Structure 1
Amino acid sequence: MTVAVAMNSTPEGRAALLAGGAEAQFRGDDLVVLSVLDADEVSPADRDSVESQARELLGDTAFTTRVEPDGGDEAGAIVDLAAEVGATLVVIGSKRRSAVGKFLMGSTVQRVLLDCPVPVLVVKAEH
């Protein structure tokens, strides 16, 4: 069993990482940190950066990372990576957006919720 966390460097991404780490420990599951980057390729420096950010927040918690380019579809990349790692739960961070903001720019979180074949835990950052 695997808990997959969609992490980025925003407060919401950090909140998702902390919640996902706690959930994986509670369940006794493996933890996989997923990061999709808006890039054509992912460099070793990108992978190291994601790994160090996650290590900073998770401390001694065991985890693996998967860093991939988003291919222009961040939500699709998250769902695909979650399937590849065999996730039984996906954790993602969210921030409040107006209905007009969602209409104009879409919502990655909404797409993950609708497209992901496993349960999704959505967390908000504390403000």
Structure 2
Amino acid sequence: MSVVVGYIPTPEGEAALERAIAEARNRQDRLVVINSSRGDAYVDQRFVQADGAEALARRLEAAGVDHVLLQPLRGHDAADEVLDAAESHGAGLIVIGLRRRTPVGKLIMGSTAQRILLQAECPVLAVKAAAG
């Protein structure tokens, strides 16, 4: 089994990563970190660049969990990438970060988190960032 976490460098992504590290450690499972981009923009602030990926890898090593960092650039949306990773890595848990959105924002924009919650075949743990 593994714990899959959708990660972006935001407070919500950091909260999800911290909880996923704790869950992987407690379960003694591999942690699969997904940081993806559609690749449709010159700069994607959600995609961790090389220096950030190295820092993230060091952080995971220091946490003492078996891990893999995946950064697919296949043109798929984040929900698809997380769900694909959960299936291919035999996830026992998916961890995602939630951001605060207005009801109208949810209606118009859709929700990556909602798709993962509805389509995942394993439990999903949704984490909020600390109120700041």
- If the length of structure 1 is used for normalisation, what is the TM-score? 0.85
Q: For residue 28 of structure 1, what is the aligned residue in structure 2? A: 28
Structure 1: tracts of 5 or more residues without a match: none
* Alpha-carbon distance in 1 for matches of 2:128, 2:116: 15
User: What displacement does 1:54 show?
Assistant: 5.0
Q: Tell me the amino acid that sits aligned with residue 14 of structure 1.
A: E
* Alpha-carbon distance in 2 for matches of 1:74, 1:61: 26
Q: After the TM superposition, which residues 1-127 of structure 1 pair with which residues of structure 2 at under 5 Å, given as runs?
A: 1-39=1-39, 46=49, 49-53=52-56, 55-56=58-59, 59-62=62-65, 63-69=67-73, 71-127=75-131
2:91 partner SS: coil
After superposing the two structures, state which structure 1 stretch, 11-20 or 26-35, moved more: 26-35
Q: Tell me the amino acid that sits aligned with residue 6 of structure 2.
A: A
Aligned residues: 123
4+ residue runs of structure 1 moved beyond 6 angstroms?
A: none
Residues 47, 67 of structure 1: 8 Å contact kept: no
Q: Tell me the amino acid that sits aligned with residue 32 of structure 1.
A: V
Between the aligned residues of both structures, percent identity stands at 44
Cα pair distance change 1:27/1:96, threshold 3 Å = same
- Cα shift readout 1:17-67 (whole Å, capped 9, x = no counterpart): 000000111111111111111316xxxx84663342353377332221111
- If the length of structure 2 is used for normalisation, what is the TM-score? 0.82
Structure 2: tracts of 5 or more residues without a match: 41-47
Cα pair distance change 1:47/1:68, threshold 3 Å = farther
* Alpha-carbon distance in 2 for matches of 1:83, 1:47: 26
